[in-house]
Amino acid sequence: MSMPRFHAVLTGASGGIGRAIALKLAPLCETLILVGRDATKLTALQREFPQARAVAADLTTAAGREAVRRAAAESPGGIDLLVNNAGAGEFAWFLDQSDEMLERIVQVNVLATLQLTRRLLPLLLAQPAARIVNVGSIFGHLAYPGYVAYSATKFALHGFSEALRRELADTPVQVSWFAPRATRTAMNSAALCALNEELGVAMDDPQAVAAAFVALLEHPVRERLLGMPERLFARLNQLVPGLVDRALRRQLPAIRRHARGEPTQPSSQGVHP
């Protein structure tokens, strides 16, 4: 199958999923702007691809977002693909989370994503065809204990994707929502990995997530959720939320114990969203 040659911006390129996407996306790109805060990681990645350019920027700052906009405006051919993948999360009991962490999660996942997208939108609208892919999470469909703040932001991002898709429906810019399930990256603490192991929750490799991302580029759809039974539980959560409440209630002792670092006790098995 012939693939379009993208002129892309990828945020969160220094992270686990972002790096895996970059490795698969770069060969499909004429130009690729890799965004993250860790300049060392970005530069190492950029060296592998002559068409790539690294922009080390904190997207929660106006200066960081402007650095990305400038790089995109100067890039030959402009940009026709924006992948909003940068994100922050913390597996923790809501009561235990600091104001600073709540602020960081909301700023990175929601505010910075909206602000960067609005800043880059004129460049995307100038193209005959362009795409925005927002990397969400299954927790943007099914809110989960231990991920109260993170779920709130991914629901917000999901709403952003849907509304923007509808607002841009008569323009050349298509908007997609891409929602991975638990994935083995630095975002997930040892406590979360231990919980998932105890509950039998599968965790994907970033490479598998990146392969699904490329499939979404090949066959554009409005929304792509990864994994079973996660997709099923997301649907059930829409139709019969009380059923999901009861299933998660059974998982709660294990979730609380891992999130708060409490001593190990036997736990009941529940659903595995």
Which position among 58, 162, 198, 205 is part of the footprint of ligand NAP (CB under 6 A)? Answer: 58
147 is catalytic: no
- Return the number of other C-beta atoms located less than 10 Å from residue 89's C-beta: 23
Nearest to 177, CA basis, from 108, 111, 225, 234: 225
Nearest to 220, CA basis, from 132, 138, 154, 141: 132
Helices of type H across 147-226: 148-167, 190-199, 206-218
Site map (CB under 6 A) of ligand NAP, residues 87-106, x = contact: xxx-----------------
Rounded least distance, CB 109 to ligand NAP, Å: 7
Helix (H, G, I), strand (E, B) or coil at 193: helix
Q: Which is nearer to ligand NAP, 14 or 267 (CB)?
A: 14
Catalytic residue among 91, 147, 150, 233: 150
CB 44 within 8 A of CB 68: no
Q: Mark the segment that binds ligand NAP (CB under 6 A) among 67-75, 91-99, 184-192, 257-265.
A: 184-192
Site map (CB under 6 A) of ligand NAP, residues 2-31, x = contact: ----------xxxxxxx-------------
Q: Which is nearer to ligand NAP, 89 or 273 (CB)?
A: 89
Rounded least distance, CB 110 to ligand NAP, Å: 11
Q: Which is nearer to ligand NAP, 227 or 270 (CB)?
A: 227
Strand partners, 260: none
**Rounded Cα gap, residues 86 and 43, in angstroms:** 17
Q: Which is nearer to ligand NAP, 36 or 263 (CB)?
A: 36
Answer positive or negative: Cα dihedral of 56, 58, 63, 69.
Answer: positive
Give, in order, the Cα–Cα distances in Å from 15 to each of 43, 86, 118.
Answer: 13, 8, 23
Q: Token pair for residue 78?
A: 């402009």
Containing 82, the helix (H) or strand (E) segment is strand 81-84
Give the sheet arrangement for strand 6-11, strand by strand. Answer: 52-56, 29-36, 6-11, 81-84, 130-135, 173-179, 223-225
Give, as ranges, the residues between 113 and 172 that touch ligand NAP (CB under 6 A).
Answer: 135, 137
Q: Which is nearer to ligand NAP, 85 or 161 (CB)?
A: 85
Q: Mark the segment that binds ligand NAP (CB under 6 A) among 58-66, 123-131, 165-173, 244-252.
A: 58-66
Q: Mark the segment that binds ligand NAP (CB under 6 A) among 45-53, 72-80, 85-93, 240-248.
A: 85-93
Which position among 185, 237, 251, 267 is part of the footprint of ligand NAP (CB under 6 A)? Answer: 185
Count the site residues for ligand NAP by CB under 6 A.
28
Neighbour-count burial of 91, counting CB atoms closer than 10 A to its CB (0-12 exposed, 13-18 middle, 19+ buried): buried
Which position among 51, 115, 188, 207 is part of the footprint of ligand NAP (CB under 6 A)? Answer: 188
Query: Is residue 86 part of the contact set for ligand NAP (CB under 6 A)?
Result: yes
- So which residues are the catalytic ones? 150
| Footprint of ligand NAP (CB under 6 A) | 12-18, 36-38, 58-60, 85-89, 108, 135, 137, 180, 182-183, 185-188
